[in-house]
């Protein structure tokens, strides 16, 4: 924070405010606005990092920050640019290590830069944020930290370790087992800057200790993780990555690296050339595991249907993983949005895997229909459903999600779980007998993962399938010990993959989910 100067408004903070105003005016995404901003581009790297942290943080925590600011305004209404400035400054006071004297003084200058007559009001509000809300969040974090240090729900059960939450806190073992205590939910909501309903869902889905751990890490920047494209020669891609001086270090997964410096990645041209794919580590594990389920089944080229191709990151990883095992995958992918299919096709060509991949723009809920394009009519060894979801496992990467999502979207009829079940059921009809149906999301909510899997298995179509453990996927037998540890750590006792199960080797992944369903009954589709 050396660039900060008490009194004179720093250019990093002024740029962060412009970005946040632009996001509000255009209803844009903060990372897109940051990427396209000439003002941000002109900053030196250190200031650019502060601008990014402030703008992303202000958007990610917006509901909590606005509530705190409002609680200190006794009358009247804040004009939008002033509210934006106070949001940015409140985030800095509460969540960055800037000395309060500097962050308050800079916050007052920031507010005065857009509303000169509000200097006194801004001063009063920000001083109260520093004096009252900063310690309140510190106390909430301490209580959550005490809970996290107990490690597992079993040790919590029957013990009231800190006396700071009610006894009922230890009694969560699965979704809906009991109501979360309001004190725990309030702490997770405040420290993790989540709407209360989402904090409740997080506790119901992950349990108290993992919910607390997630809240403590919720405002940190996401890990800068990349995958080398195996199809373009891992050695060459690694050389190019080293030459770009991004301070890479290997992670315990084939071709996975963490970057110490992320800022130069776009400028290096490596992403455009598809030599390097920005991709969370857990998403890489999901893609390689899915590829192995297809490659492990036959000596002939295996057929894999990917549902929900998006920008084809996992398609590229799956094709590359198969090549690295000297196997061939024929991949068909379907995606609802035509613009994504066009982009996916461009990326597949750049990544040198277009020969083995075909993409179709269609609605996956119609996959059981008779009039599908020809290549989709033949049965598949593996159908991999990378389902549309809330993205609640990727809040740090997609900061808009936390405050734009509603409980209705993840819970009720006509919502995401209903669409996920419809897609899974339609996709199931394309699985060959003995083949596998894989269901994946980047959500941490049980309503979108295990409950969808259970609803499917309880359905007529689902009666042809049984759950298999992800630890028994063919990839597991070929992994190096630390890679096997990583996979094992992320698989729960029920055999389902959940990367939200906490950090390992200091790696803090997004929250991804994967379930394997093997087809044991039924006839050819």
Ligand X SMILES: C[S@@+](CC[C@H](N)C(=O)[O-])C[C@H]1O[C@@H](n2cnc3c(N)ncnc32)[C@H](O)[C@@H]1O
Taking the complex as a whole, the smallest distance from the CB of residue 262 to ligand X amounts, in Å, to: 19
The CA-based dihedral angle spanning residues 47, 48, 50, 54, taken in that order and rounded to the nearest 10 degrees: 140
What would the two tokens of residue 420 be? 């996920």
Closest of 57, 60, 51, 19 to residue 37, by C-alpha: 19
Which member of 309, 390, 447, 500 binds ligand X (CB under 6 A)? 309
Indicate the residue among 365 and 368 with the shorter CB distance to ligand X. Answer: 365
Question: Nearest CA to 361 among 383, 341, 382?
Answer: 341
In the complex, minimum distance from the CB of residue 286 to ligand X, in angstroms, rounded to a whole number: 9
Residue 95: partners with Cβ closer than 8 Å, 6 or more residues away: 57, 61, 219
Q: Which stretch binds ligand X (CB under 6 A): 53-61, 185-193, 306-314, 501-509?
A: 306-314
Among residues 51, 229, 231, 313, the one that binds ligand X under rule CB under 6 A: 313
Our finding on whether 388 is near ligand X (CB under 6 A) is: yes
Nearer to ligand X, 210 or 423 (CB): 423
Are 314 and 287 in contact by the 8 Å Cβ rule? The answer is yes
Q: For residue 68, which of 50, 105, 94, 104 has the smallest C-alpha distance?
A: 94
Least separation in angstroms between residue 317's CB and ligand X is: 8
CA distances (Å), 213 to each of 140, 179, 218, 326, 390, in order?
A: 12, 19, 9, 40, 20
Size of the residue set binding ligand X (CB under 6 A): 18
Report d(CA 350, CA 16) in Å as an integer: 34
Q: H helices within 280-383, ranges in order?
A: 281-295, 313-324, 338-350, 374-377
With a CB cutoff of 8 Å and minimum separation 6, the contacts of 203 are 172, 180, 184, 185, 188, 211
Query: What is the DSSP-derived secondary structure letter of residue 415?
Result: S
306 assigned binding-site residue: no
Consecutive H or E run containing 358: strand 357-361
Q: Give the H or E element holding residue 386.
A: strand 380-386
Token duo for residue 108 = 């007052």
Residue where the block lists tokens 């969560």 = 172
Both structure tokens of 102: 């500097």
* Complex with ligand X: residue 208 or 320, whichever CB lies closer: 320
Q: In whole angstroms, how close is the CB of 284 to ligand X at the nearest point?
A: 10
Q: Is 386 annotated as a binding residue?
A: yes
Given 314, 327, 430, 498, the residue binding ligand X (CB under 6 A): 314
Q: How far is the CB of 316 from ligand X (least distance, A)?
A: 9
- Pair of tokens at residue 314: 């996992």
Q: How far is the CB of 245 from ligand X (least distance, A)?
A: 27
CA–CA separation, 83 and 69 (whole Å): 8
Binding mask 431-470 for ligand X (x = CB under 6 A): -----------x----------------------------
Q: Of residues 24, 217, 261, 311, which one binds ligand X by CB under 6 A?
A: 311
Q: How far is the CB of 337 from ligand X (least distance, A)?
A: 5
Instruction: Name which of 360, 380, 476 is nearest 436 in CA terms.
Output: 380
| Identity of the residue, 51 or 333, whose beta carbon is nearer to ligand X in the bound complex | 333
Residue with smaller CB distance to ligand X, 132 or 363: 363
Indicate which residues carry an active-site annotation. 442
H or E segment to which residue 249 belongs: strand 248-250
Contacts of 360 (CB under 8 A, 6+ apart): 332, 333, 334, 335, 341, 373, 376
Minimum CB distance to ligand X, residue 356 (Å): 16
Please, which residue, 58 or 287, has the CB nearer to ligand X? 287
Question: Is 184 in contact with 146 (CB distance < 8 Å)?
Answer: no
Give, as ranges, the residues between 315 and 374 that touch ligand X (CB under 6 A). Answer: 334-337, 340, 363-365
Pairing of strands 497-498, 380-386: unpaired
10 vs 231, beta carbon nearer ligand X: 231
Query: Considering beta carbons, is residue 200 or 335 the nearer one to ligand X?
Result: 335
CA distance 457 to 450: 10
- Please identify, among the stretches 4-12, 75-83, 214-222, 303-311, the one whose residues bind ligand X according to the rule CB under 6 A: 303-311
| Residue list, annotated binding site | 335, 363, 386
- Contact residues toward ligand X (CB under 6 A) are 308-311, 313-314, 334-337, 340, 363-365, 386, 388, 423, 442
| Residue list, annotated binding site for S-adenosyl-L-methionine | 335, 363, 386
């Amino acid at each position: 924070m050396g660039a900060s100067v008490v009194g004179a408004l720093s250019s990093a903070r002024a740029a962060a405010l412009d970005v946040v105003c632009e996001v509000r005016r255009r209803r844009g995404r903060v990372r897109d606005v940051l990427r396209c901003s000439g003002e941000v581009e002109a900053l030196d790297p250190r200031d650019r990092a502060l601008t990014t942290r402030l703008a992303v943080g202000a958007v990610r925590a917006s509901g909590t920050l606005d509530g705190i600011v409002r609680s200190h305004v006794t009358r009247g209404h804040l004009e939008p640019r002033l509210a934006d400035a106070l949001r940015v400054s409140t985030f800095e006071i509460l969540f960055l290590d800037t000395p309060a004297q500097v962050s308050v003084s800079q916050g007052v200058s920031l507010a005065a830069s857009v509303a000169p007559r509000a200097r006194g009001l801004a001063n009063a509000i920000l001083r109260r944020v520093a004096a009252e809300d900063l310690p309140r969040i510190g106390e909430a974090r301490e209580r959550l930290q005490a809970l996290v240090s107990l490690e597992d729900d079993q040790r919590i059960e029957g013990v009231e370790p800190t006396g700071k939450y009610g006894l009922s806190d230890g009694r969560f073992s699965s979704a809906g087992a009991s109501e979360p205590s309001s004190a725990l939910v309030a702490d997770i909501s405040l420290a993790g800057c989540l709407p209360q309903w989402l904090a409740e869902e997080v506790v119901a889905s992950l349990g108290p200790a993992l919910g607390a751990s997630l809240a403590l890490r919720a405002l940190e920047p996401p890990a800068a993780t990349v995958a080398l494209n195996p199809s373009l020669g891992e050695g060459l891609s690694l050389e190019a990555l080293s030459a770009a001086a991004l301070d890479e270090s290997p992670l315990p997964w084939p071709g996975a690296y963490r970057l110490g410096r992320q800022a130069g990645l776009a400028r290096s041209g490596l992403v455009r050339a598809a030599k390097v794919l920005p991709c969370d580590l857990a998403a890489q594990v999901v893609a390689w595991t899915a590829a192995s389920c297809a490659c492990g089944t036959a000596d002939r080229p295996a057929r894999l249907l990917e549902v929900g191709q998006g920008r084809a990151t996992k398609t590229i990883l799956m094709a590359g993983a198969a090549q690295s095992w000297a196997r061939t995958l024929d991949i068909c992918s379907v995606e609802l949005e035509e613009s994504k299919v066009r982009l996916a096709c461009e990326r597949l060509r750049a990544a040198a895997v277009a020969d083995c991949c075909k993409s179709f723009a269609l609605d996956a809920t119609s996959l059981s229909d008779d009039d599908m394009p020809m290549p989709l009519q033949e049965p598949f060894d593996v159908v991999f459903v990378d389902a549309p979801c809330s993205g609640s496992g990727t809040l740090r990467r997609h900061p808009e999600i936390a405050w734009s999502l509603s409980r209705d979207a993840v819970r009720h009829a006509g919502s995401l779980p209903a669409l996920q079940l419809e897609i899974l059921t339609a996709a199931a009809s394309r699985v060959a007998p003995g083949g596998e149906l894989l269901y994946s999301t980047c959500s941490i909510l049980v309503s979108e993962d295990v409950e969808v899997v259970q609803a499917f298995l309880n359905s007529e179509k689902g009666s042809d399938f049984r759950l298999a453990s992800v630890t028994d996927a063919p990839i597991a037998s070929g992994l190096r010990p630390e890679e096997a540890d990583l996979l094992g750590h992320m698989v729960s006792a029920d055999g389902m993959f959940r990367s939200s199960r906490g950090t390992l080797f200091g790696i803090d992944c997004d929250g991804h989910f994967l379930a394997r369903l093997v087809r044991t009954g039924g006839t050819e589709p």
